[in-house]
A and B are shown apart, each in its own frame.
Chain A
Amino acid sequence: MITTRDKILSSVMKPTRYTGGELNAVIKNPADVSVRFGFCFADTYEIAMSHLGLEILYHLLNKREDTYCERVFAPWTDMEEEMKKHGMKLFALETGDEVTHFDMLGFTLQYELCYSNIVNMLNLADIPVRAKDRDESYPIICGGGPCAYNAEPVADIFDFFMMGEGEEIINEVADEYVKWKKSGKKNKRDYLEAIAKIEGVYVPSFYDVEYNDDRTVKSVRPNNENAKPKVKKRIMKDFNDAYAPDTIIVPFGEVVHDRVMLEVMRGCMRGCRFCQAGYIYRPLRERKPENLLGIAENLLSCSGFDEISLSSLSTSDFGGLKELTDGLLDMTEKKKIGLSLPSLRIDNFSLELMNKVQKVRKTGITFAPEAGTQRLRDVINKNINEEDIIKSTDLLFRGGWTNVKLYFMIGLPTETMEDVHGIADLAQKVLDVYFAIPKEERANNINITVSTSSFVPKPFTAFQWAKQDSRDMLIEKQNELKSSIKSKRIRYNWHDNKTSYLEGVFARGDRRLGEVIIKAVENGCKFDGWGEHFKFDTWMKTFDELGIDPDFYTSRERSYEEVLPWEHIDIGVTKKFFMRENERAKAATTTPNCREQCSGCGIASFGTGVCYE
């Protein structure tokens, strides 16, 4: 039979993005459940299917008999055009059903530049964008993930957010939904009041924001007795026993991370002052190696993937690394399965390990010194020194590697041109290390890539008060760096500063930005994370149209007294600690990692993890 669906799918690129039906995708009869949940990721299939959080929450929700969780992703622009042409609405992958009247849609907020896609997806679903315009017949729209910690720019769109790790809280809000539905789903407010009592749930419409004359926030106060003055994040206290999916969807097409991802730990003990992930996922908690080996064996055999990768913020800090990798190598060598180890700090042990895993091809190695001088590395608390880098690269070059990528940020607080030159100097020193090794002890064709991104100050970091470098300043620094790199063996890549600018606006934005996002989508913005679709000028025109100055959010150094738009959210790490860290940064004083010495960040109140080792 000739169908509209076939006509659409035959005329788009990569149609398997839209067909579902992959191995281990969950099939249920929608008539058998009370909750139809759409797990939404506002980007393409390939990005969404590389996200571990989706895999966890999808299978967790589908363990419930009363719930059917399906996947809902952003159609690429060719598909969007075809859908509009044929009157097809946003649909879920598993059943192909329209999501317009699902019970709940949950968006994961992984990066600020996906906001326009969220609005676009709601438009495609024919769902009113603003929470206040949706009655009980529409799905409850909720969000979670790292950007939910300051979701104020999209607060008017969402009914509620879940703060922190979703494994428990998502079951609790689903339970309440089932109760509300059984009671006849009379009033959306009843449901929101019921879940506002759950720890970690933030219902933005239950809070009033007042502003000062200078446009800063005056106060954020609950207007509903069920809403807590401060919303505290949730974590899995016993991470070793926390739910890990026993199955994994196997995509047909190639996705970004086409492999089993084994989450060995959550959180990070390093305390790099710019890094939001390092603070919001605290405290560091590990899974036991024997537990991980079981999970790995099971996921490999149910998926047939030929690669497994260890996932964490800093794999070298994992206590059971040797035991785990020895066990994994036993498993993988027999079946010709590749083991990849991202996020390693380079020392003797990891080099030995890399020699074991990369037997044939010596692929590239990436280091992240983040800053060019020791002073600036101390400012950001990146506890790595030049000697480490020199020693490690010497080991690498002698081990046969010739492709080294050095990753830096420009625009860090207190940075001067001297620090920018330091980046070129460091790259040159690494090159000198190579040439100092006798020819017969190193491989040919050295290649060093220096890559810089522009620093964006984030909420819940020591730099949350900092001024972001202007675009002009960043361009000046990029040009300065370009001209101070002398060798042809060193290549320089830099990140576009327009996206960093917009990211900076939303990262520390407030509720007034919601209108801008909705309007920008009307004006044609979407897929801002994709260079070919990013329309910077349209964004700027939209800010102008609505009389909102984006520089207000980026170019101001904030005082400690200012009420930050996200101050009613509690991640466990205290504002006092961030203030202390910010002052130590100004003095270029480092702070020891959690295993060396506790610095009293406040997260110990959660009663678990590295704080109690």
Chain B
Amino acid sequence: MSNYILKYSRDDRVKYISHLDFVRMFHRAIRRTDINFVFSQGFNPHPVMTVAQPLSVGVTSDCEYMKVGFDGEYSENELLEKINNAFPPGYKILAAKKVSGKEIDLTKLDRAVYTVELEYEGNVDIDGFLSNKELVVMKKTKSGEKESDIRPYIYELEKISENNGILVLKMCIAVGSSYNLKPQSVIDAMEKYMDNFKSGFMNVHRNKMLRGDVEYL
């Protein structure tokens, strides 16, 4: 029995799959291989696995992580080959590593880099926007909606391109249990604090997840 960290991607084809449906899909994929899960103890045994910062529905990614217990020893190449063969098109394991202690701790991931592509109208002034001392927006939390200053949790925000009413932004913002920020909240703040800026539909892609400036795998 060993624990493994898997890094995987999901593309456009499977981006509407919810977190729970992904977990079920992963269980089924493993059952199609000859790898055996480690099961939890108790009345209703289930495979031992945790996913770091589950993706929202509609978001694509190159940098998802999970920790999972397998009954057996596997090399990185074996895992990549076996699991990728069992995945439906759109999901792909990019890297795998056996871990014994806490050298990779997924709960410590605290920031993520996103590329956001959105429809917009008006003027975009990122420097002006970032020079605000505080950026207070309504934010959904477990206990309902409340106001929050998100400025300290925007680590980087950069305009990549703007043309034909489509704006592309790159942002590095907080994720994790201590403070979790979604790209939508940044766009909400831009609407509130930038004059004449209105946003429309957006596509979000997660490029990286980091602990400080360290990227796992």
Residues of A within 8 A of B (CB): 1-2, 6-7, 9-10, 15-16, 19, 21-23, 250, 252-254, 301-306, 335-336, 360
Contacts and interface: CB of A to CB of B under 8 A. Distances in A.
A304 B117 contact: no
A253 B39 CA distance: 23
Contact of A7 (B27, B87, B117, B201): B201
B57 A360 contact: no
Contact of B32 (A10, A19, A253, A302): A302
B86 A16 contact: no
Of A2, A9, A303, which is in contact with the most chain B CB atoms at under 10 Å from its CB? A2
The 9 closest A-B pairs by CB, nearest first: A304-B28, A304-B31, A15-B16, A23-B88, A304-B32, A252-B21, A21-B13, A252-B17, A7-B201
15 contacts: A1-B117, A6-B58, A6-B201, A9-B58, A10-B201, A15-B58, A19-B16, A23-B88, A252-B21, A303-B32, A304-B29, A304-B32, A305-B28, A335-B31, A360-B44
Chain B binding surface SS class: mixed
B166 A2 contact: yes
Interface in B67-94: 86-90
Interface in B19-39: 21, 24-25, 27-32, 39
A319 B85 CA distance: 39
Contacts of A302: 32
B119 interface: yes
B161 to A, nearest CB: 13
A19 B28 CA distance: 19
Nearest to B30: A304
B28 A250 contact: yes
A6 B201 CA distance: 9
B152 interface: no
B169 to A, nearest CB: 14
Nearest to B12: A6
A19 B15 CA distance: 10
A2 B199 CA distance: 13
B203 interface: yes
A592 B86 CA distance: 50
A252 B18 CA distance: 9
A304 B203 contact: no
A302 to B, nearest CB: 7
A250 B17 CA distance: 13
Contacts of A360: 43-44
A300 to B, nearest CB: 8
A334 to B, nearest CB: 10
Given A6-B201, A23-B29, A304-B86, 14 more contacts: A1-B203, A2-B119, A2-B201, A15-B57, A15-B58, A16-B16, A16-B18, A19-B14, A19-B16, A21-B89, A250-B88, A301-B32, A304-B29, A336-B45
Contacts of A252: 14, 17, 21, 25, 88
Contacts of B32: 301-304
A21 B14 contact: yes
A304 B39 CA distance: 16
A360 B90 CA distance: 37
Of B28, B43, B90, which is in contact with the most chain A CB atoms at under 10 Å from its CB? B28
Nearest to B17: A252
A287 to B, nearest CB: 24
B32 to A, nearest CB: 4
Contacts of B18: 16, 253
Interface string B139-162: 000000000000000000000000
Contacts of B30: 304
Nearest to A24: B88
A2 B117 contact: yes
A306 B31 contact: yes
Contacts of A19: 13-14, 16
Contacts of A253: 18, 21
B155 to A, nearest CB: 26
A331 to B, nearest CB: 13
B61 to A, nearest CB: 16
Given A10-B58, A252-B17, A2 B203 contact: yes
Contacts of A23: 28-29, 87-88
B21 A16 contact: yes
A360 to B, nearest CB: 6
A305 B30 CA distance: 10
A10 B16 CA distance: 8
A309 B201 CA distance: 44
Given A6-B203, A7-B201, A16-B21, A304 B16 contact: no
Of B13, B17, B27, B166, which is in contact with the most chain A CB atoms at under 10 Å from its CB? B17
Contacts of A336: 39, 45
A525 B25 CA distance: 36
B71 to A, nearest CB: 12
A303 B117 CA distance: 36
Nearest to A20: B13
A203 B118 CA distance: 53
Nearest to A337: B31
Contacts of B203: 1-2, 6
Nearest to B14: A21
B136 to A, nearest CB: 27
Nearest to A18: B16
A345 to B, nearest CB: 29
Nearest to A7: B201
A2 B58 CA distance: 12
A306 B58 contact: no
A304 B83 CA distance: 12
A336 B27 CA distance: 12
Contacts of B31: 304-306, 335
A468 to B, nearest CB: 42
A304 B17 contact: no
A529 B31 CA distance: 36
Of A7, A9, A336, which is in contact with the most chain B CB atoms at under 10 Å from its CB? A336
Interface in B166-190: 166
Nearest to A21: B13
Nearest to B13: A21
Interface in B86-121: 86-90, 117-119
Given A2-B166, A306-B31, A21 B90 contact: yes
Contacts of A303: 28, 32
Interface string B181-208: 0000000000000000000011100000
